[in-house]
Amino acid sequence: QVQLVESGGGLAQAGGSLRLSCAASGPALSNYAMGWFRQAPGKEREFVAAIRWSGTSTYYATSVKGRFTISRDNAKNTGSLQMNSLKPEDTAVYYCAEDFWGVIVHGTPRYWGQGTQVTVSS
């Protein structure tokens, strides 16, 4: 069974920071790329960031480049999304997901967490 659980969401002021974590069950993080997605009310889900299983390559949506950093610790089966310089438009439910790299970047991942709310006030 593959299960992903996000944590770390909450309320932040514009310009502030939050760090999201994703805990994975089993060896999933040792075999799959990890991605972060977000969805705001009334909007489509959008890609945020991705990292290969090795951690050697990352990819970010233009909207978060230079502000967000994705990382992972395969020994702990965890992933992280460090969010700095937060903007009100970052407000959304954030989801972590796992699948092959190409699926994370171009498709719909097979495995998802339950999501964690991030709210940025202005």
Tell me what pLDDT residue 60 has: 98
- Rounded Cα distance between 19 and 60, Å, is 16
Tell me what pLDDT residue 1 has: 66
Estimate to the nearest angstrom the gap between the alpha carbon of 97 and the chain centroid.
7
CB 1 within 8 A of CB 25: yes
Pull the structure tokens for residue 84. Answer: 């700095």
Indicate left, alpha or beta for 15 from its phi (over 0: left) and psi (-120 to 50: alpha): left
Residues written for the chain: 122
10-residue averages of pLDDT along the chain (122 residues): 91 98 76 94 97 95 98 92 98 96 95 97 95
